[in-house]
Structure 1
Amino acid sequence: MPAPALPSVTEQAERLIALGATGPLDPDALRKEAAALPDRPGLLVVGGARPSELAPLLRRADRPGFVVEDMTDVDDFAPVAGVPDAAVWLLTDPDRGDHLTNASPAEADARFAAEGRTPMLLTEGVQWVLQVPEVLERNFCFMTIGSRLRKPSGRFDARTPAVWISGGTGRDGRDRKDAPKIGWCWWNNRHTWLGFGSGAGRVVPGHHG
């Protein structure tokens, strides 16, 4: 199923401002940065926005989003590869990766490399859901394997961040049923209800090619 259409970059900036989701930028700075992006479809991403601060701003079924209790280090999940040295950028052609459901993150990563796709960062995935909440559908949610946690040893933590919908069980609690949820899965595990977020590339302000 195609991803829901995104509003214009200007409209996306105003939505982030209205939600208080501008990260380290003040509203005027975000408007200025967004205005310098090319006029083309894509997801406006604030580079310094922290997932832990964005999660409560998510909404589904009138319930706020949250981070699972055993992911207190959510903001330490950093880009695996380099990202633009810019306050904002445009992630072009964001996709939920439904065709990759039941693949492991390792397998999906290999597919993206072969196809020239860019694995989505956790902060990109969360900001995508902020803009178009209907991206999250029951049984069709997504992992964000562009972000991983590196251990002091230099190896990656086996957890892989994902954005999905709470079932209201276990430590989530019944009052969180149907709420947007930031959690994690194991790097080599498969899930029939999780795809893999990706984009065609990242474009920075001032680039109009």
Structure 2
Amino acid sequence: MTTDTDTALEVTPDAAAAEFDRQVRTLLALGYPALSGRSPEQFAALVAPLRAEAVARAGSAAYPAGPAGPETAPAVTGRVPFVLVVGRALAPVERTMPLTTLHGGRLPGFVDRSFEPGSLERFLATEEARPPGRDGVHLLCEVERGEEFCGVVPGDAMATVAERGRTPLTLEEGIALLTLFPEILVKNKCFSLGGSRCGDRRVPALWISKRAPKLGWCWEGNPHTWLGMASAGARHA
């Protein structure tokens, strides 16, 4: 999904490799190895096998063209080819959300108080969005912010996503997307994370509050003009 003004650039194997390495460097700089109880070298070794998958998928997706170009951090509109995701077993949501910022911002992201104590642990991946593998890391591919669903009832948006053979993002995947591509979260183009549910009508979402990213939730039957539904085409471990 691109906007009318976007021009897609093909992802070459070299560009995919460079982008994967950029994402790893970002996570290292943010302290993800310590969060996962590993040294930087151990963390790099943990995620290294996913590099081959990112390179192998080169050409099947596209970076939006922009000032950054495809060889560095892509200029993000609403679509990115892949995101390196670290699961909550290695990096708890309560620890990773404060590591996020808006593009060009300094204020840390935060979890909204509407999550009662202990409730985050109950928002688990749905069967369709369950991450593959057992090592706690995976590659999320063909990611879309989903602004086309702004103003759409979340339940209806999730049904449309499923009809397209795609799945909504989980909490961890949404935070990973924001962490590695801060440009993705902008005013009036925020997104729900329907891949994590807790058995009630709440749907987690990322939006902007007090000039910082916020992890909150909205009711699955209530539409918001500024809140879409993020989704992915595939996951690989």
TM-score, with length taken from structure 1: 0.82
Pairing 1:56–2:98 present:
yes
Deviation per residue, 1:29-80 (Å, 9 max, x gap): 3311322111244100112332211111111222111001121322331101
- Structure 2: unaligned runs, 5 residues or longer: 58-80
Number of the residue aligned with 2:36: 24
CA distance in 2, matches of 1:198, 1:143: 9
5+ residue gaps, structure 1: 150-155, 167-176, 205-209
Q: CA deviation at 1:25?
A: 5.3
Specify which of 133, 139, 149 is matched with residue 85 of structure 1: 133
Cα distance in 2, alignment partners of residues 92 and 161 from structure 1: 20
Secondary structure of 1:83 counterpart? coil
> Pairwise mapping of residues 113-128 of structure 1 onto structure 2 (< 5 A)?
113-128=162-177
> Superposed, which structure 2 residues align to 1:1-209 within 5 Å?
2=2, 8-22=19-33, 23-24=35-36, 26=38, 27-37=40-50, 38=53, 39=55, 40=57, 41-47=81-87, 48=89, 49-60=91-102, 61-71=105-115, 72=117, 73-81=119-127, 82-86=130-134, 87-149=136-198, 156-166=199-209, 177-204=210-237
- % identical aligned pairs: 38
User: Residues 66 and 180 of structure 1 are in contact (CA less than 8 Å); yes or no, is this contact kept in structure 2?
Assistant: yes
Alignment partners' CA distance in 1, 2:24 and 2:2: 23
| Structure 2 CA distance for aligned equivalents of residues 123 and 35 of structure 1 | 19
Secondary structure in 1 matching 2:32: coil
Q: Please say which of residues 70-79 and 57-66 is displaced more in the overlay.
A: 70-79
Q: CA deviation at 1:126?
A: 0.7
Q: What TM-score results when the alignment is normalised by the length of structure 2?
A: 0.73
Aligned alpha-carbon RMSD (Å): 2.1
- Give, in whole Å, the separation in 2 of the partners of 1:29 and 1:157: 38
Aligned length: 188
Q: Per-residue displacement from partner, 1:115-151 (whole Å, max 9, x unpaired)?
A: 00121011100111111111100111000000011xx
Q: Distance in 2 between matches of 1:34 and 1:67?
A: 26
Question: Quick one: higher RCO (CA 8 Å, sep 6+), 1 or 2?
Answer: 1
